[in-house]
Amino acid sequence: MRIATLVAASPVVSYSPASGFGIGGAGNVAFYRGLPEATRISSGVGSLLVTTKEQLLFNAKLDVSAPHNRWVFHGDERLYWTSQDTYGLGTSTTSAEAVNAKYNFFRFNESLFRQVRPNLYVGAGLLYNIHNNVRPDEDSASAWPDSPYIDYSTQFGFDLDSQTSAGLSAHALLDSRDGAINPSRGFYVGLDYQLFFEGFLGGSSNWQQFNYDLRTYFRLKGDARHKLAFWFFGNLVTGGTAPYLDLPTTAMDTYGRSGRGYGQGRFRGQRLLYGEVEYRTTLTRNGLVGMVAFLNTETLSNEQTGERLFDSFATGAGLGLRVLINKRSKTNLCVDVAWGREGSHVYLAVQEAF
């Protein structure tokens, strides 16, 4: 049974440090697969953008709950013809080390969860990530032979043109939030273990990664006009050797919203720990306009140089404006300005960062 389907779609202009300005279309659909009082709202977010950095980016994210939340499906699909500055590993790298790489990136990550207790789920997933046609942009051609991507890939015997990570995942999830799109209370605890296999769907190597994702939300007033949100996560390669572009990195979470203050891929390493706190409030009584203030930090390791977690940090902070575009699902249009240790960046997006 599907109840109360709500759709918001519009042309969009986006901006992020890694992509520049983007023009295209985006949509958000929110619906219930069961009675609203017994079933969490489901959502899908999709976008297609062409950017000033000659990128074509397609994203589709799904979060679907069956009646009474007995089953939950999460999907993360990305089709990118894109580019990204690459750096050495760890948090201590400098912006002067950047070498721009162009590549195609296709991701299909699907997970299915079964409720075993109220708010508690276990599940499994299929993971597929491929980066191919990896090459330098014109301005980076001379630096490419000594780039971090080439050095790492050559050291560990990876194909320089195409690298694939494919495998399976096991999940445990505890979710008491009052909604996944813009929660005002509750908590989220996600644990997953990923196993990638050489030869499986063209996989380039055997490796494993453990991820945790902790989020909690507090109302500072009963009407939810003032809230605090906390986010902590870790991406930790626990064995084997991951391809360079699949190593844990800044802003490669599901919605690409971590590390505001830095561009996607700015920091990369075998292990990543991240923390963020955000204050959220509405500026109008009807909730149409709001604002946020946030502070985040991350630390990454580099096994090749001996840099460990907590040896250095990359910290960002910023302010954001919110405009409500879907009242039932509480979906906001988000405009953020964030400062990191190398300057400021602007971000335009749909839906809260976490």
**Is pLDDT at 221 greater than 50 in this prediction?**
yes
Sign of CA pseudo-dihedral 240, 243, 249, 254 = negative
Mean confidence (pLDDT) of the chain: 92
Domain limits of the chain?
3-350
pLDDT of amino acid 9: 63
pLDDT (average), residues 334-343: 94
pLDDT of amino acid 89: 97
pLDDT of amino acid 16: 79
pLDDT (average), residues 28-43: 80
**What percentage of the chain exceeds 90 in pLDDT?**
73
**Is pLDDT at 2 greater than 60 in this prediction?**
no
Could you give the CA distance from residue 225 to residue 219 in angstroms, rounded to a whole number? Answer: 8
pLDDT digits (tens, 9 = 90+) for 237-294: 999 999 999 999 999 998 889 999 999 999 999 999 999 999 999 999 888 999 999 9
pLDDT of amino acid 189: 97
Q: Which residue has the higher pLDDT, 172 or 350?
A: 172
Assess if CATH 3.40.50.150 describes domain 3-350.
no
User: Which range among 51-65, 163-177, 289-303, 306-320 shows the weakest confidence by mean pLDDT?
Assistant: 51-65
Phi, psi of 202 (to 5 degrees): 85, 15
Q: Which residue has the higher pLDDT, 72 or 348?
A: 72
pLDDT (average), residues 314-343: 91
**Is pLDDT at 310 greater than 70 in this prediction?**
yes
Give the pLDDT band of residue 6 (cuts 50, 70, 90). Answer: low
Q: Closest Cα partner for 323 from 192, 160, 182? A: 182
User: Which range among 1-5, 235-239, 261-265, 327-331 shows the weakest confidence by mean pLDDT?
Assistant: 1-5
Q: Which residue has the higher pLDDT, 201 or 61?
A: 201
**Is pLDDT at 15 greater than 80 in this prediction?**
no
pLDDT of amino acid 1: 47
Could you give the CA distance from residue 260 to residue 276 in angstroms, rounded to a whole number? Answer: 10
Could you give the CA distance from residue 78 to residue 57 in angstroms, rounded to a whole number? Answer: 8
